[in-house]
Amino acid sequence: MERKVTLAHGDGGELAHKLIQQIFISAFGNGHAARFDSAYLSLKSGEIAVTTDSFVVRPLFFPGGDIGKIAVSGTVNDLAVAGAIPLYLTAGFIIEEGFSLADLRKIVQSLAEEAGKAGVRVVAGDTKVVEKGGADGVYINTTGVGLQRAGSSVDPSRIEAGDDIVVSGTIGDHGIAILAARGELGLMTDLESDCASLNKMIAALIDGGCDVKMMRDPTRGGVATTLVEIAEDFGAVLEIEERTLPIRNEVKGACDILGFDPLYLANEGKVILVVSHADCPQALDILRRFPEGENTAVIGHVAGRGRGTGQLLLETPLGSKRRIHRLSGMMLPRIC
Amino acid sequence: MCVGVPAKVIEKKEYTALVDVMGTKMEVGILFVPEVEIGEYVIVHAGQGMSIIDQTFARQSISEWEKMARADVI
Amino acid sequence: MQTLFEPADPAVAIELAQKVIALADRCKEKFGAMPAFMEVCGSHTMALAKTGVKLILQGHVNLISGPGCPVCVTDQKQIDAMIEVAESDSRIVCTFGDMMRVPGSKRSLLSAKTEGRDVRIVYSPLDAVRIAEENPEKEVVFLGVGFETTVPVLAAAIQMAAHKNINNFSMWATTKLVQPVLRTLLSVKKVKINGFLLPGHVSIVLGEQAYRFLIDEFRMPGVISGFEPVEMLSAIYKLLKMVDEGRPEIINNYKSVVRAGGNKTAQKMMNEFFQPCDESWRGIGMISKSGLEIREKYSRFNAKEKFSIKIGEPKKTPCRCGDMICGLASPEECVLFGKACTPLHPVGPCMVSTEGSCAAHYAYMRKEG
């Protein structure tokens, strides 16, 4: 087999056939389904959940993961936080001409491995090859199909004053790990991306009977932007406390150097939950049993509901409360 | 005006040093603090160490502020 | 790490804040007006807003953001010129992240990058020299803004380029000096303040003696401060004490970092590569000898000499950034603030840099919207 992806790998001929057989089918194992133009899936009756997400990440391989892993966990988490049980994935690859086949194989295997861990099946796929310079290495789109969880209490309209706000671990790990992996700004850290599928942890929480009212995964824009969206979408006043935010020292250090705020850094393996105050201890207990949730912390509470447009407030260690807004534009390292 | 962070020197070469800011490391210049020693802290600005932190003064300042905060008179 | 500058007990900051409030209220009663201090440094503006110090002192101490954000005080014409520098396929323009979104007359460096220009963000100016080394077929230009803390680092970059004979590196320097602008604020702009919170990191280079003139010429107290809540609160406390007792002094409240005579090596580097020049400050105007330009001896590294860039006079906008950095207006008093001018679509530079007074106010103090 060739060592690099060529345009011929995308033309539907002999090479394309080989590429699909040797890299994709060998990893995903659905040889039978691949003989048809569509996959047939059996779903129990009920509402299905569908989500789609495209993954472009630089570098493609980073400490703690790669684009293949994140293409699974990102979509699986979108289903899981919506209260669905993730079941099936499709994966579409856009590959730049000249891309190393060995790297492609690694990415596909990583994707398959993460799908296995999350308990979802990759049932359909597609590859396209674009000319050199037409894409940056590999882009992946995944679409996820899930089934609504029966008896789930997730319903943001029930958010009320007194509910606790919980985050399932340290914040900003992914953002800084990626930045360091790019090597452009000279940061060196042992930090790993937190990217992980959270569906099993979330299932344990719901099956445990915890009164979870709302879940979101704080990816791009970070914890701050996600909480501002929750506050605005549901007209709630959310208050978080700065001193309770779980942040790794390395992340704090990197943020100090570059003038970043960890509240706005991306996470790829965290969930923010609004939980009834009574059920919060049990929720913490369940989440902390999972390696992805061992640093779970209560970071604040719902202070009110239905007053105006909703807002997010941060209580500083001095006791003053300042309003937090969405991330404006992109974060740029500052020296001045 | 000028963001500066305290960083601990963990390795030293002729013109540069490896510093650690709470676990994140970085190579910085020591052109302006050539006398810095391993284990000392420097204030880093735009990739250069600008000042060696005097830990005796740092401790003195903290105890002065504590007294200030807890004095009986305003 | 925090233990270097902060007491182990977080309650100290809260108690200190109470002391500051009590003393400020006493001063207000005694003099019939709320005491007003100007933080010269933009990083203080950010830290005061972010840590909540500004909010907790609201109504007791008036903290005014001064001219110490290098992006905010960079003349629009200079920014237009810098963007123009990027307008060539044969050049790579390197800059600090702060500069990317600053609007010139028509666009920003970020929009130039979007249009395909090679504009790169570096953390250190020395990285730009390295980029020049790796790209010998391109001209690499570093946009050098900054105050006295940054200038020695700019000098180090020129020194490295000179030492390695990297002739495709040059710098577009628009630097600013603290003393001349403070003098202008007090003597020409007549700002109404009771003292200065003096910049911690500029003082590393200058030393505490650099501020003697505040006492000698203006009887204006000043305290050099670090950036943690206790450091800023204790500095404000010391300012209030001097106001209360009518004994203006310059106090170094950042002794662990700032030496009396400053950093001599840094001063020497600055003098070797740069010489004083007249600089135009956005919103303030021309101030004689308030900036530094690259010495003739090193003019081969001076982008202003190397490239002929011609720029027309920028159009005027109702932006009040100039008044803002003189302490003559607050962000809310600008008709553009939060409406036509937001961090996403900044009109003036005070909204661009995260430490600009408008951006800090927008991010941390704004209550509506």
pLDDT tens digits along A227-268: 999 999 999 999 999 999 999 999 999 999 998 999 999 999
Instruction: Please tell me the distance from the alpha carbon of residue C38 to that of residue C26, in angstroms, as a whole number.
Output: 19
Are C51 and A318 an interchain contact pair (Cβ–Cβ within 8 Å)? yes
Q: How far is B8 from chain C (nearest CA, A)?
A: 9
Q: Which residues are paired to C6 by β-bridges?
A: none
Three-state SS string over C57-104 comes to HCCCCEEEEEEECCCCCECHHHHHHHHHHCCCCCEEEEECHHHCCCCC
Nearest 10 degrees: CA dihedral of C194, C200, C204, C209? 10
CB C345 within 8 A of CB C317: no
Which pLDDT score is estimated for C10? 87
Are A256 and B26 an interchain contact pair (Cβ–Cβ within 8 Å)? no
Q: Round the average pLDDT of chain A to a whole number and report it.
A: 92
Q: How far is B22 from chain A (nearest CA, A)?
A: 5
- Percent pLDDT > 90 in chain A is 74
Are B69 and C70 an interchain contact pair (Cβ–Cβ within 8 Å)? no
Nearest to A336 among C96, C100, C122 (CB): C96
Nearest to A336 among C69, C363, C365 (CB): C69
Mean per-residue pLDDT, A297-314: 90
Model-wide pTM > 0.85:
yes
- Percent pLDDT > 70 in chain C is 98
Residues from chain A that touch B22, judged by Cβ atoms under 8 A, are 249-250, 252-253, 256
Q: Does C67 touch chain A (CB under 8 A)?
A: no
Are A259 and B3 an interchain contact pair (Cβ–Cβ within 8 Å)? yes
Nearest to B26 among A188, A191, A336 (CB): A188
Instruction: Please tell me the distance from the alpha carbon of residue C164 to that of residue C128, in angstroms, as a whole number.
Output: 13
CB B30 within 8 A of CB B15: yes
Residue C3: band (very low, low, confident or very high) from pLDDT cuts 50, 70, 90: low
In 3-state terms, what secondary structure has residue A117? helix
Q: Does C71 touch chain A (CB under 8 A)?
A: yes
Q: Which residues are paired to A237 by β-bridges?
A: A304, A311
Q: How far is B35 from chain A (nearest CA, A)?
A: 23
Instruction: Please tell me the distance from the alpha carbon of residue C72 to that of residue C284, in angstroms, as a whole number.
Output: 11
Cα A52 to Cα A35, A238, C4, distances in angstroms:
24, 29, 48
Among A137-151, A202-216, C244-258, C340-354, the least confident range: C340-354
pLDDT over 90 at A10, yes or no = no
pLDDT over 80 at C109, yes or no = yes
Are C4 and B6 an interchain contact pair (Cβ–Cβ within 8 Å)? yes
Are A243 and C97 an interchain contact pair (Cβ–Cβ within 8 Å)? no
Mean per-residue pLDDT, C26-36: 96
Q: Does B45 touch chain C (CB under 8 A)?
A: yes
pLDDT along chain B (74 residues), means of 10: 88 96 96 97 96 96 95 87
Residue A269: closest CA among A248, A291, A242: A291
B residues 8-47 closer than 8 Å to A (CB): 20-27, 44-47
Are C201 and B50 an interchain contact pair (Cβ–Cβ within 8 Å)? yes
Cα C97 to Cα A334, A336, C121, C125, distances in angstroms:
5, 9, 5, 12
Which pLDDT score is estimated for C369? 42
* Residue pointed to by tokens 């303040």: C193
Q: Does B51 touch chain C (CB under 8 A)?
A: yes
Structure confidence by residue, pLDDT tens digits, A133-187: 999 999 999 999 999 887 777 889 999 999 999 999 999 999 999 999 998 888 9
Residues from chain C that touch A264, judged by Cβ atoms under 8 A, are none
DSSP conformational letter for A21 = I
> Which of C20, C58, C98, C227 is the best substitution to test chain A (most A C-beta atoms within 10 A)?
C98
Instruction: Please tell me the distance from the alpha carbon of residue A60 to that of residue A70, in angstroms, as a whole number.
Output: 10
Are B48 and C41 an interchain contact pair (Cβ–Cβ within 8 Å)? no
Residue B12: closest CA among B22, C325, B33, C82: B33
Are B22 and A249 an interchain contact pair (Cβ–Cβ within 8 Å)? yes
Structure confidence by residue, pLDDT tens digits, C271-302: 999 999 999 998 888 999 999 999 999 999 99
Residues from chain B that touch A248, judged by Cβ atoms under 8 A, are 23
CB B36 within 8 A of CB B30: yes
Are C71 and A336 an interchain contact pair (Cβ–Cβ within 8 Å)? yes
Looking from the CA of C277 toward its CB, the CA atoms found within 13 Å total 15
Residue A300: closest CA among A315, A285, A281, A288: A315
pLDDT over 50 at C1, yes or no = no
- Percent pLDDT > 90 in chain C is 68
Are A336 and C51 an interchain contact pair (Cβ–Cβ within 8 Å)? no
In 3-state terms, what secondary structure has residue B65? helix
CA angle A139, A176, B27 (to 5 degrees): 120
Instruction: Please tell me the distance from the alpha carbon of residue B38 to that of residue A143, in angstroms, as a whole number.
Output: 52
Which pLDDT score is estimated for C363? 78
Mean per-residue pLDDT, C11-17: 95
Alpha helices in chain C (DSSP H): 11-31, 42-50, 53-57, 76-85, 109-114, 125-134, 151-163, 178-187, 200-206, 212-218, 229-245, 264-273, 303-306, 321-325, 357-360
Q: How far is A290 from chain B (nearest CA, A)?
A: 25
DSSP conformational letter for A35 = G
More confidently predicted of B12 and C339: B12
Q: How far is C365 from chain B (nearest CA, A)?
A: 20
